[in-house]
Each structure stands twice: as structure tokens, then as C-alpha cells.
Amino acid sequence: MSLSHGRSYLAIPGPSVIPDAVLRAMHRASPNIYEGELHDLTASIIPDLRKVAGTTGNVAIYIGNGHAAWEAALANVANPGDRVLVCATGRFGHGWADIAAGLGLEVEVMDFGQTMPVDAARVEERLRAKGAQAIKAVLVCHVDTSTGIKSDMGAIRAAMDAAGHDALLMADCIASLGCDDFRMDDWGVDVMVAACQKGLMTPAGISFVWFNERAAARRPARVSRYWDWGPRSNPEVYYQYFAGTAPTHHLYGLRAALDMINAEGLEAVIARHATLATALWAAFEAWGQAGPMRLNVADPAHRSHAVTSVGIGEGQGDALRHWCEHQAGLTLGIGLGREPTSAWFRVGHMGHVNAQMIMGVLGTIQAGLIATGVPYGQGALEAAARVLAEA
């Protein structure tokens, strides 16, 4: 017998749960792409994308996933042979570094390990050291999705300023946008990339690059026509938004998702994620009192509110995930980028997630711990419920 039949919860850190309103908005015939409502809808999305990123700057939309946005961002600010400094706090920083290497950039990686955020003091030290003038951009994942680590972008900007260095600060907010507080302009981020399938609650397929005038002024000698963010962010004719056919249905879906964010209010969305994450962590801390479960990031200030990485005994991560998925309809994330993978799992709590879903995740994990024979401390569900009750 399986108890998994019924509405399932895909609690992996992207793609996230798609709201019914987004699905409904996408369930339609193709619109005219040459004139009419699609043009107005696209124009209406731009100010909302600015708002969610905390910027008055520019935004370009790409048909592609987060990897496309990684490449697009770099293609608009660097020539082959230029040096970039990647600050890695898990697997995704290395992924962006690899994209940079593929574009022919000189890539320098500072690896901050898998449990701590980017240390701004070390960045400052590097930017003051010999050879640092060649660095054209500093690349940071605001949240690394493999580790759940959140880095302080404002502190990194302050470190760059303190070093008197004029490199661009480029942030990957693919996991964090619409979940963790992010303020592009206030924090001095020059370029930011995100995709639609995480906090923005839309099926994977479009991604975004926000950039300020400082970044626009770094335009390299030659930019690929397709990646060029110029016409996309400032089109003279509609097709230039997408360098071709618009991602029609994704735009309807994204419009609906942004409407939901606007209706709740961005601050409330961010606060909801914070409270749900705090409830989740309270449960994991209680379970960890007697047993192998450990939150990957010790200091709550350095944890993302969108994704949580949990360590457990070797094999137990996989066993727990499989029990939850096949017996209860809850899909947890794999221990991506960890050794051994089977000793880790992740919970995605990004986007269209509420309190009863978090209690469902925790209650299911509780049952899974019993079923798989993993030892645990008492009081986890009580601790989570208390956070929710007192919020």
C-alpha cells in the first residue's frame, strides 16, 4: 500500500510549486505576437520585475533557464580573456564559474566552503592584493541552492568599495528572488540574474538579467546578437524583447504570478518565507538533539529562507527521501553537490508555500524517520507549530 495518492508537494528547490492561477493563465491558445494584448502584458511585467528586484534599473528577459541568464549576464560585461572573481559557497558558484570559463574568461574562484557565507573581509583582501586590477567582476550566489547559504551582498559591496576596486558586483538570485530579502540598488549590486521557476512560481523556461547603468557602460567590444541585453531591455519593436518569438505562455503565467506577489505584497511574501523557514529550522533543531540530523548552516542569519540543506547518516538521506516520495507524496531535494549525496537532502520552501504545507512536510519527515529507523530528538512538530502560532 502507498499513502501517496492525493495532491503531492514537490518540495525540491526548483522548480517550485506552480499556483493554480498560473496554470490557468497559461491554459489558452497562442496569442498574436505581432500586436495586441501580449504587447501590453509584456510591458506590464517590466515594472513588476524591477520592483521584485529592488531596482530602478534595466531588465532583459531570455527564453532559457538560469544557466542562460548566467551566460547572458557575462556576455554583456566581459570580453574573452577578462578576469572574473567567483565567490563560491557551494555547487552553484562553480557552475557560474564554468559558464565563464566556457566564454573564454579568466576565472578565479575563491571557495568559502559549504557551511559559511562569503567572507567580505577576504574579498577585500583579495581585491587589494597584486593582480587584482585585472578583475572585471565579482560573481556571487546570493543563495547557494546546494548548501542553503545566504551571503550578505551589501557587505561584499562595502568590501569592494573599501578596497577602492571598481569591478562590477554580479549576483545570482535564482534561488532567492521573491523569497529572501534582496535590494539590488540599496546593496550596490550592478547585475543580477534570476529565473522564473523558483520564487516566481512559473514553469521553467524564462530567465532575467537586471543591470544598472554602471554595468551597461562596461559593454564589451563585441556582444553576441542573441545575448545582447540592449535591444531586449530597450526594444524599438516588440520582437526585440526576446530576439524572436515571445515566450507567450510563460508571459501569461508570469503575469499571474506577479499579480499574486503584488496582491500579497512583496514585504509580506518575504516575511512569510522567513516565518516558514524559522518553523522548519525549529523542527530540524529538535530532531537533531538526539540523532544524526543537522542543519547545514549553523547561524540562522546565514541561512536562506528558500531552501534548507540537511545532513543525516550515510544512506539515510536517500532512504528518507524515497519513503516520503513513494509512501506520502512528498518529494524532497537530493543532496546535490554533497559527499556522500545519500547523507544529505534539501527542502525547497520557495514561492507558493504556506503554513499547512510546511507542517505537512515536517509531519511527513517525522513519519519517514520512524519508518526508516533514523533516531531523532522529540518535540520537532511542537517546536515548528509554536513558531507558526506565535508569528
Ligand X SMILES: *Cc1c(COP(=O)(O)O)cnc(C)c1O
Residues that bind ligand X (CB under 6 A): 14, 65-67, 92, 141, 143-145, 172, 174-175, 195, 204
Helix (H) or strand (E) holding 259: helix 248-264
Q: Give 12 or 381: the residue with its C-beta nearer to ligand X.
A: 12
Report in angstroms how near the CB of residue 372 gets to ligand X at its nearest: 28
Report in angstroms how near the CB of residue 174 gets to ligand X at its nearest: 4
Side chain identity at residue 233, one-letter code: S
Q: Give 147 or 316: the residue with its C-beta nearer to ligand X.
A: 147
Q: Give 192 or 324: the residue with its C-beta nearer to ligand X.
A: 192
Closest by CA to 296, choosing from 331, 344, 363, 332, is: 344
Q: How far is it, in rounded angstroms, from Cα 260 to Cα 246?
A: 22
Q: Give 145 or 151: the residue with its C-beta nearer to ligand X.
A: 145
Report in angstroms how near the CB of residue 67 gets to ligand X at its nearest: 4
Report in angstroms how near the CB of residue 354 gets to ligand X at its nearest: 21
Q: How far is it, in rounded angstroms, from Cα 391 to Cα 383?
A: 13
Report in angstroms how near the CB of residue 158 gets to ligand X at its nearest: 22
Q: Give 16 or 212: the residue with its C-beta nearer to ligand X.
A: 16
Side chain identity at residue 252, one-letter code: Y
Query: CB within 8 A of 218, min separation 6: which ones?
Result: 77, 78, 136, 168
Expressed in percent and rounded to 5, the helix, strand and coil fractions of the chain are 45, 15, 40
Q: Give 96 or 242: the residue with its C-beta nearer to ligand X.
A: 96
Report in angstroms how near the CB of residue 235 gets to ligand X at its nearest: 24
How many angstroms separate the first and last alpha carbons of the chain?
38
The answer to whether the CB of 187 falls within 8 A of the CB of 157 is yes
Report in angstroms how near the CB of residue 172 gets to ligand X at its nearest: 5
Closest residue to ligand X, based on beta-carbon distance = 66
Q: Give 208 or 376: the residue with its C-beta nearer to ligand X.
A: 208
Query: CB within 8 A of 362, min separation 6: which ones?
Result: 279, 280, 283, 380, 381, 384
Query: CB within 8 A of 265, min separation 6: which ones?
Result: none
